[in-house]
Amino acid sequence: MFYYSKEPITIDQAIEMAPCLTATPHTTRSDRYQHVPTTDVLSALMREGFKIHGLTAANPRQKDRVGFQKHLLRLRRPSDNWDKKRAPELLLINSHDGSCSYQLMGGIIEFVCSNGLILGDNWTSVRIRHKGLHPIDQVIDASYKVVKEFDYVQDAVAHMQETKLDTDAQLKFAEAALITRYGTDKDKIPVEPDAINHARRNEDRNNSLWATYNRVQENMIRGGLSGEITATNGKRRKTKLREVKGIDQSIRLNQSLFTLAEKYADLASANDDRIAKPSVLANLINPNMGQQVAVAA
């Protein structure tokens, strides 16, 4: 399930939507597992001024994991808001079945579309294992490491906004984005670059790198676009770009796309000709791009 609200929600509302936030440790966990319910961590973060705005809970394949599964929360503080269009967010990831540690990273929310972006690999991401003493204190400390970079993130966004792209450059960026997900084999890429460069709202119809990145990110995450691929029998068949639903897959793809946009902005400023070569540009993000490293097709 996925939920996002422009207005903050309470912990009780979050629990109603995702009971896994209060789970006890899964039966597979040993005595060494240091259990702290996500709700306790949220209470501590809310005392620091953070408010819950988004919630995603994984859909586990194993039935015995239901109620203990991985979940992601998006939080923000009003004092951190940049302007009326977007704001930085703190992302908290956890589970109670041992599938992940506590993890904190940065994100950005675009208010016009509730489009949740996730910062790339160049920014702080902290993992805290379910072991040792005082995990809540560690989470709070980690949250401030992420927050400390928000001003620099705003500068990175401004750089992307100032970088203007003609139509051909936009399509080159979109092609590089598709390569980061599917690899270089065009027969396995279900849509053309112009499909994921399509604007869903008038607000996204401008020629900045930031707008291009947002269009591409939203279309690739939400999916639903029609296209064709070459089947194993060599014949072309109709298909659709799949929506990215999994928490891990969404994080990997989001991080790749944000890093791609950062790299593109830097190369454009330096007049580096690699920005005109999608496969080379994608390779800067995912060296093993031919292996569908970001998200399975």
Tell me the pTM: 0.90
Query: Last residue of some domain: 105, 120, 150?
Result: 150
Residue 296 in any domain: the answer is no
Residue 271 in any domain: the answer is yes
Number of domains in the chain: 2
pLDDT greater than 70 at residue 294: no
Could you tell me the pLDDT band of residue 175, with boundaries at 50, 70 and 90? Answer: very high
Same domain as 200, residue 232: yes
The Cβ-side half-sphere exposure at 73, using a 13 Å CA radius, reads 29
Q: How far apart are CA 25 and CA 64, in angstroms?
A: 12
**Mean pLDDT to the nearest integer, 236-264:** 92
pLDDT, tens digit, 9 for 90 and up, residues 127-147 = 998 876 678 999 999 999 999
**pLDDT score, position 231:** 78
Same domain as 172, residue 143: no
Residue 43 in any domain: the answer is yes
Same domain as 166, residue 114: no
pLDDT greater than 80 at residue 23: yes
Q: How many CB atoms lie within 10 A of CB 12?
A: 8
Same domain as 125, residue 27: yes
Could you tell me the pLDDT band of residue 164, with boundaries at 50, 70 and 90? Answer: very high
**pLDDT score, position 287:** 54
**Above pLDDT 90, what percent of the chain?**
65
Q: How many CB atoms lie within 10 A of CB 187?
A: 12
Residue 71 in any domain: the answer is yes
**pLDDT score, position 41:** 94
**pLDDT score, position 142:** 94
Residue 248 in any domain: the answer is yes
Residue 156 in any domain: the answer is no
Same domain as 142, residue 32: yes
Same domain as 171, residue 37: no
Same domain as 82, residue 56: yes
**pLDDT score, position 292:** 34
Asked whether the beta carbons of 95 and 26 are under 8 A apart, the reply is no
Residue 9 in any domain: the answer is yes
Query: Last residue of some domain: 128, 150, 172?
Result: 150
pLDDT greater than 50 at residue 195: yes
pLDDT greater than 60 at residue 224: yes
pLDDT, tens digit, 9 for 90 and up, residues 4-17 = 998 999 999 999 99
**pLDDT score, position 295:** 33
Residue 297 in any domain: the answer is no
Quick one: three-class SS letters along the chain? CEEEEEEEECHHHHHHHCHHHHCCCCCCCCCCCCCCCHHHHHHHHHHCCCEEEEEEECCCCCHHHCCCCCEEEEEECHHHCCCCCEEEEEEEEECCCCCCCEEEEEEEEECCCCEEEECCCCCCEEEECCCCCCHHHHHHHHHHHHHCCHHHHHHHHHHHHHCECCHHHHHHHHHHHHHHHHCCCHHHCCCCHHHHCCCCCHHHCCCEHHHHHHHHHHHHHHCCCEEEEECCCCCEEEEECCCCCCHHHHHHHHHHHHHHHHHHHHHHHCCCHHHHCHHHHHHHHCCCHHHCCCCCC
List the single range of 24-28, 134-138, 196-200 with lowest mean pLDDT: 24-28
Q: Whole domain around residue 184: which residue ranges?
A: 161-291
Same domain as 22, residue 110: yes
Query: Last residue of some domain: 130, 150, 170?
Result: 150
Same domain as 137, residue 195: no
Same domain as 192, residue 106: no
Same domain as 201, residue 84: no
Same domain as 138, residue 19: yes
pLDDT, tens digit, 9 for 90 and up, residues 40-90 = 999 999 999 999 999 999 988 888 888 888 999 999 999 998 988 999 999
Please provide the average confidence, as pLDDT, over all residues in the chain: 89
